[in-house]
């Protein structure tokens, strides 16, 4: 898989997150996954699974607790996808 840059990963992640957000919710890099999108633990796991499938990575579950914003999430995906 070719290396993806931050903008490409962000675009893909936003598409995934939009399916879990309320229709009126505007998602940006600073959007907080749990507080702003009101995601529960099952939804977070579904998102992680989709990200793993989309980017062909294994996302370390112990790293999830350190991810607050969409930007944090994208940076972690970028690190895992482009070692």
What is the number of structural domains in the chain?
A: 1
Task: Please report whether residue 23 resides in a domain.
Answer: yes
Tokens read off for 67: 């991810």
- In 3D space, the residue among 58, 15, 2 whose CA is nearest the CA of residue 77 turns out to be 58
Residues whose CB is less than 8 angstroms from the CB of residue 25 and which lie 6 or more positions away in sequence, other chains included: 31, 36, 37
**Residue 33 domain flag:** yes
Tens of pLDDT, residue by residue over 67-77, are: 999 999 999 99
**Does residue 1 sit within a domain?**
no
Q: Would the pTM count as exceeding 0.85?
A: yes
Query: Which residues participate in catalysis according to the annotation?
Result: 40
pLDDT in tens, 21-68: 988 889 999 999 999 999 998 999 999 999 999 999 998 888 888 999
CATH of the domain at 72: 1.10.1200.10
Domain that holds residue 54: 6-81
Position 46 in a domain: yes
């Amino acid at each position: 898989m070719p290396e993806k840059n931050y903008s490409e990963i962000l675009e893909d992640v936003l598409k995934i997150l939009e399916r879990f957000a309320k229709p009126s919710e505007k998602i940006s890099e600073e959007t907080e996954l749990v507080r702003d999108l009101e995601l529960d633990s099952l939804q977070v796991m579904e998102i992680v699974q989709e990200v793993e499938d989309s980017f062909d990575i294994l996302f370390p579950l112990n790293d999830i607790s350190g991810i607050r914003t969409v930007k944090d999430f994208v940076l972690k995906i970028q690190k895992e996808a482009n070692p």
